[in-house]
Amino acid sequence: EGSGEWKERGTGEMRLLKEKKSGRVRALMRQEKTLKIIANHYVVENGPYCSLKPNAGSEKCWVWMANDYAEGEQRTEQFALKFGNPDLAKAFEKAFNEAKQENADIISGEKAVKKEAEKKDEKDEEKKDE
């Protein structure tokens, strides 16, 4: 660890999955042969996390950091994902950024609902005091 070298976790298909209950989107990737989870994190709009950057100027490779749960507990990891061609990389960037926005909208909606509930509780308390 800490050698600054890239460690290949494997090849496979990166999926952006929407949770049925919360609607939040996470990135999940399994190793092609073993099906072991090699990436599992929410796609968040919270720099520096999930900020896609081209790797060494390549049009086919994205790098980003995330709080990952592939090993079962949270670890900040840096990922590099290489595609077969630039069009696939562009399509991934678009889907990834849309997922970030969806999650940001859900989180801000949850905050608004919570704030509204707190206001209602305060008004209820004021009425009790009268």
Per-residue pLDDT of the chain (130 residues; tens, 9 = 90+): 445 667 777 888 999 999 999 999 999 999 999 999 999 999 998 889 999 999 988 999 999 999 999 999 999 999 999 999 999 999 999 999 999 999 999 988 876 666 777 777 777 766 666 6
Q: What is this structure's pTM?
A: 0.79
**Residue 75 belongs to domain with CATH number:** 2.30.29.30
Does any domain span residue 47? yes
Does any domain span residue 43? yes
Q: Which is nearest to 83 in space by CA: 6, 9, 11, 8? A: 11
Alpha carbon distances (Å) from 12 to 56, 80, 86: 22, 13, 17
Given this model, what pLDDT does residue 34 score?
A: 93
Does any domain span residue 2? no
Using CA atoms, how far apart are residues 60 and 87, in angstroms rounded to an integer? 8
Could you tell me the residue range of the domain that residue 53 belongs to? 14-129
Does any domain span residue 115? yes
Q: Which is nearest to 28 in space by CA: 64, 62, 69, 65? A: 69
Hey, which residues does 79 pair with through a beta bridge?
A: 64
Does any domain span residue 108? yes
Total structural domains within the chain: 1
